[in-house]
Amino acid sequence: MEIEFFKYHGAGNDFVMVDCRQVDEHLFDNIKVGFLCNRHLGIGADGLILLLDDPSAEFRMKYFNSDGREGTMCGNGGRCIVAFARDLGIIHQKTVFSGIDGLHHSEIMDSGLINLKMIDVDGVKEMEDGYLVETGSRHFVTFRKSISDIDVFSEGREIRQQARFADEGTNVNFVETVSENVFKIRTFERGVENETLACGTGAVASAISSHYRQKTDKNSYTIHALGGTLSVNFTVQNNENYSNIWLKGPAKFVFKGQINI
């Protein structure tokens, strides 16, 4: 069967997108998803996203990691599916869509950047060597003096597989503080099992961890990833309950085509 696909990226975090409103979503099993995301044999991407009908929202987002398994929430993918829905004519500037973790509000700004509301975060788990935060996806955040020379693949994979994170493991973020509310980030993503050029839920987790760590009154953060710049804003109560969390950044169309699956 031949399908039409679209390629988008959010700050270098790239995705194969499929309009599944008239295509059976069950065609996309883990073998086919893995093939489509393979950078040598398929299209190549960090993940695959299906856009589906949803009676409770304007559309539904179903996200798969590049290993073929359905994933948790993806912040950069969430912004990309909003751009995709706009390009398909489903939405205009504002939308509400559903993801695996619930409903998400989003707005396409006049600048072209896309603002995406994330789920609330109730508490940060402080660990001896970092912080564990659930932002729609589980993230471990560790702060380092410099991240440019870190072997993210090796060290991230080792941390991701540690027994303390149980069978599901975790995403791993290495963060370097530039100023009180500006930092650099590099992320090892589970499911991709490698470093990605950016991670939206990781940027949110890192901003919240930075706020929690510094006990600051700052609630707006700039995050420099390898593939681009993201920003995170939130409201906080008691330095541990985070709400009204917004992730803003680019979402770009790359190309489209047809492929036989």
Total of domains in the chain: 2
Q: Give the whole-angstrom CA distance, residue 121 versus residue 40.
A: 38
Q: What is the DSSP letter of 118?
A: P
129 with 221, same domain: the answer is yes
Residue 112 CB partners (closer than 8 Å, separation 6+): 250
89 is in which domain, residue-wise? 2-117+251-260
199 contacts 189 by C-beta, under 8 angstroms: yes
Please indicate whether residue 74 is annotated as part of the active site: yes
Per-residue confidence (pLDDT) for residue 34, from 0 to 100:
97
- The CA–CA distances, whole Å, from 247 to 100, 131, 168, 252, 258 equal 17, 20, 25, 16, 31
**Could you tell me the CATH number of the domain that includes residue 185?**
3.10.310.10
The single residue of 20, 37, 74, 80 carrying the catalytic annotation is 74
| Bridge partners for 230 per DSSP | 223
125 with 197, same domain: the answer is yes
Q: Where are the beta strands (DSSP E) in 80-227?
A: 94-99, 102-108, 114-117, 121-122, 125-127, 130-134, 138-143, 171-179, 182-189, 194-196, 220-225
24 with 113, same domain: the answer is yes
128 with 39, same domain: the answer is no
88 with 126, same domain: the answer is no
16 with 131, same domain: the answer is no
Residues of the chain with pLDDT under 50: none
Q: Which amino acid is at 213?
A: R
234 with 255, same domain: the answer is no
Per-residue confidence (pLDDT) for residue 167, from 0 to 100:
80
Per-residue confidence (pLDDT) for residue 215, from 0 to 100:
86
162 with 109, same domain: the answer is no
107 with 87, same domain: the answer is yes
End-to-end, the C-alpha distance of the chain in Å comes to: 6
Instruction: Name the one residue in this structure whose structure tokens are 């410099």.
Output: 146
Please indicate whether residue 80 is annotated as part of the active site: no
Q: Which amino acid is at 194?
A: N
131 with 212, same domain: the answer is yes
User: Other C-beta atoms within 10 Å of 105: how many?
Assistant: 14
42 with 161, same domain: the answer is no
**φ, ψ for residue 54 (rounded to 5)?**
-150, 120
Structure token digits, residue 99? 């993801």
23 with 40, same domain: the answer is yes
